[in-house]
Amino acid sequence: MMNLFADMHRKVHETLREMQAAGELPADLDLKNVAVEPPRDPAHGDMATNAAMVLARPAGRRPREIAERLAERLAADGRIASAEVAGPGFLNLRLAPDAWRALVPAVLAAGPDYGRSGMGAGRKVNVEFVSANPTGPLHVGHTRGAVFGDALANLLDFAGWQVTREYYINDGGAQVDVLARSAYLRYLEANGREVAFPEGTYPGDYLVAVGEALKERYGDRFVDAPEEEWLDLFRRFATERMMEMIRADLAALGVRMDVYFSERSLYEGGRIEETLEKLREMGLVYEGVLEPPKGRKPEDWEPRVQTLFRSTAFGDDVDRPLKKSDGSWTYFAPDIAYHYDKILRGYDALIDVLGADHGGYVRRMKAAVAALSEGRVDFDIKLVQLVRLFKGGQPFKMSKRAGTFITLRDVIDEVGPDVTRFVMLTRKNDAPLDFDFEKVLEQSKDNPVFYVQYAHARISSVLRKAEAAGIDVSDAALGAADLSVLDDPAQLELLRRIGAWPRTVELAATHHEPHRIAFYLYDLASAFHALWNRGNDDPTLRFIDADDVPGSRARIALARATGVVISSGLGILGVKPVTEMR
């Protein structure tokens, strides 16, 4: 797989080892911090290495001296056009145009696999996301988490991990009893009773159908029955229905989970006790009394003995309760058992995608996972900040379906899944996101979705027109094109961006940051639009020139390669590329 940055990184390291073998550098140097990166200022070349500065002190040499020796050796490589020492000891490398051009046939041959990385080495990672309570439709906040988690899963897959997408169904707590009671009210309503929805029940319309379905199944059997008779039945039924709705919501967004894991199943199998017992043996679970929170003392605080998790041993500021006063578990206890289950399933890495309001929860969960996996499992928690909705610059709150909050469906109905997904990935996960229903549909440069799609559409248009003009645009024909005509700065710039794709994938995957893919695509599209417009000043730079078929083929090959990368990047974001704008 062609990865120019990785190739040059390898080349620099090999050359340094040659210098060690030749006695020009001490044999025991640690090369770990020697990097090959694109310089911030393109005037400094295509790639730069800090080798001389990093090694100067341990080698006991002057940086520029090391850099000069290294430059001499590197200059012998045909791919490297120049190697210049600059500044405090940087070595700036400029690649020969042919090295960049070689990307085109490589990309065409690899197709959608260009940029795929072996970094994950087939290790198993579990990405848990959405995990909304099964008590109603998904709302905007869930939508962002869903898009983020799914794109992250795609990204890790592309980077060579074996990925499981998982949804944790919170069907064990008090909230599903509330759901059952709310469904019961709708059931009474379906049976012709007048009902009121007291505080603490769910009044949303989405339960009307559930009430009717319950009537269909049970008639009026439970209308005057006491709660014990119907609660369990109704809870099961309503939860099932809510999960169907949630699955459908996710499907509408293009998200497919591999595993739906039920919290309740943990209660039934005695798994919670088992997990806590293990922690107790480690001395991390004990019976104790908690200090009241400082500065914000609850009115009814009474010290009492309860089951606690010693998260302070992992840097948390206080130990965390596992049981409520009525003896039932807090949400934290089943969560520990759930994560233990994931550990036992053999994952090398776990990722939780949570709303930002769960921030206080991160440390204790990491503590539990570190303890239960004995530090073997890499565990990352990504907090997703909230989404602020606007319409034409005005805050927007109305929902057609749920009344009180905007649902995922509201968003998709309004702008479609592709726009929703792309826009939600144009911000870092931990930054709040403004989502304007009008702006995201705008066909202009300040709308990144449009801008990237437009580039792809232009490329598709070039291919269509070329074909109509009788030029063979099969990948085989394009891959064999003589690319030496590609020597305009705009063409070389586009090649450089294409060359940066594998590196972008690896960085994004390492940091668990799919937004980097969206920003990369914007830059790539920008380089393409710039080249496109160069054709206005200089007609020889237009992609198609009927009088110059070989040259056209070279330029079209470059466009095609760009299209492959855009399409592949959009694939990670879960967005379908368009072939024409409407």
Partner RNA sequence: GGCCUCGUAGCUCAGCCGGAUAGAGCAACCGCCUCCUAAGCGGUAGGUCGCAGGUUCGAAUCCUGCCGAGGCCGCCA
Binding residues for RNA restricted to 363-422, rule: CB under 7 A? 363, 383, 385
Residues between 96 and 135 with contacts to RNA, criterion CB under 7 A: 133
- Inter-residue long-range contacts of 267-275, CB under 8 Å, 24+ positions, other chains counted: 267/172, 267/334, 271/337, 271/340, 271/341, 272/329, 272/333, 272/334, 272/336, 272/337, 274/337, 275/336, 275/337, 275/340, 275/372
CA-wise closest residue to 561 among 125, 112, 154, 179:
112
- Contact status: 539 vs RNA (CB under 7 A): yes
**Site for RNA contains 434 (CB under 7 A):** yes
**Start-to-end Cα distance in the chain:** 36
Give whichever of 281 and 296 is closer to RNA, judged by the CB atom: 296
From candidates 116, 123, 401, 542, binder to RNA by CB under 7 A: 542
Of 29 and 383, CB closest to RNA:
383
Which one, 188 or 558, has the nearer CB to RNA?
Answer: 558
Which of 516, 524, 561, 565 is close enough to bind RNA by CB under 7 A?
Answer: 516
**Closer by beta carbon to RNA, 23 or else 470:** 470
| Strands of the sheet with 47-49, listed across from one edge | 36-37, 47-49, 90-95, 80-86
Show contacts with RNA in window 461-500 (CB under 7 A).
461-462, 465
Gap between the Cα atoms of 344 and 261, Å rounded: 14
Q: How far apart are CA 36 and CA 511, in angstroms?
A: 18
Q: Which of residues 18-57 bind RNA (CB under 7 A)?
A: 33, 35, 37-41, 43-45, 48, 50, 53-54, 57
The closest of 382, 384, 380 to 356, measured between CA atoms, is 384
Q: Which stretch binds RNA (CB under 7 A): 68-76, 148-156, 342-350, 456-464?
A: 456-464
Number of shown-chain residues binding RNA (CB under 7 A): 101
338 to 357, contacts with RNA by CB under 7 A? 356-357
Stretch of 203-211, 225-233, 268-276, 453-461 contacting RNA, by CB under 7 A: 453-461
Partners of 321 in beta bridges: 308
Pairing verdict, β 433-436 and 320-321: unpaired
User: CB of 68 within 8 A of CB of 104?
Assistant: no
For the CB of residue 203, give the shortest distance to RNA in the complex, in Å. Answer: 17
Q: Verify binding: residue 437, RNA, rule CB under 7 A.
A: no
In the complex, the smallest distance separating the C-beta of residue 215 from RNA, rounded to whole angstroms, is 28
- Binding string to RNA for residues 237 to 276, with x set by CB under 7 A, is what? --------------------------x-------------
Interface positions, 166-225, toward RNA (CB under 7 A): 170, 173-175
Nearer to RNA, 381 or 411 (CB): 381
Answer whether 439's CB lies under 8 Å from 447's CB.
yes
Q: How far apart are CA 40 and CA 282, in angstroms?
A: 49
Q: How many CB atoms lie within 10 A of CB 544?
A: 20
Site for RNA in 291-310 (CB under 7 A): 292-296, 298, 300-304, 306
